[in-house]
Amino acid sequence: MIAEHDLLQTEGTTVLQTLAPYELIETWPAGIVLFREAEDPAGVYVLLSGEVDLVFASRAGVVKPLRIAGAGQILGLSCIVSGRTHDCSATTRTSAVTGFIPKATFLKLLDENPALWFSVLQMISSEINSCYDCMRALSASR
C-alpha cells in the first residue's frame, strides 16, 4: 500500500501546499456536519487538523461507520471528480480545522495542473484499494 505522505507529493511540492492558497480556513467544534450523504458537493475539505467521522446509510436506513479521516486527507474528493453526490456524511469527531475549496476552483486547479490530477487519481485509487481490503476482511470473517 502506498503511504499517504507519498500520495501527497507532486513534483517536489505537496498537494497540500498546492491547494493552500485557495483554501478558506475554518475551525469547527466536535459534532458539526460538514456534508451529508446524497447532497451535491459544494467543494472539497482539506482536513488540516482533527478527526472526522465518515458514515453512510445502509439500504435499511441504518447509519454505518465507514472510516475516521485524519489530518492531511481531502474529503469529498471522489464525488467532485465523478460528478456524483456525496457517498457518505462527514461529521467532526474532534475539533477540527479545514481548508475548504469550492468545486469550480478545485476543478480549475486540476485542469491547470496535470501533476495534481495524477496525485488525485492516486488518492482515489488508494481509497478504492482500501475498500477492497475491507471487503476481503469481511468475507474472510464469515
Taking the domains of the chain in order of start, what are their residue ranges? 4-132
Q: Report pLDDT for 43.
A: 97
- Is residue 38 within 8 A of residue 61, CB to CB? The reply is no
pLDDT at 58 over 90: no
Q: Report pLDDT for 121.
A: 78
Interval 84-137: pLDDT, tens: 999 999 999 999 999 999 999 999 999 998 888 788 878 877 777 777 777 787
Interval 16-31: pLDDT, tens: 888 999 999 999 999 9
CATH code of the domain occupying 4-132: 2.60.120.10
What long-range pairs does 119-125 form, CB within 8 A, spacing at least 24?
Answer: 119/7, 119/8, 119/9, 119/10, 119/15, 120/15, 120/77, 120/81, 122/2, 122/7, 123/7, 123/15, 123/74, 123/77, 124/77, 124/78, 124/81
Measured in degrees and rounded to the nearest 5, phi and psi for residue 61 equal 85, 10
Give one word for 40, left, alpha or beta, with left for phi > 0 and alpha for psi -120 to 50: beta
pLDDT at 7 over 70: no
Q: Report pLDDT for 101.
A: 97
Q: Report pLDDT for 13.
A: 56
Q: Report pLDDT for 120.
A: 81
pTM value > 0.85: no
Burial profile 62-74: b = 16 or more Cβ within 10 angstroms, e = fewer: eeeebeebeebbb
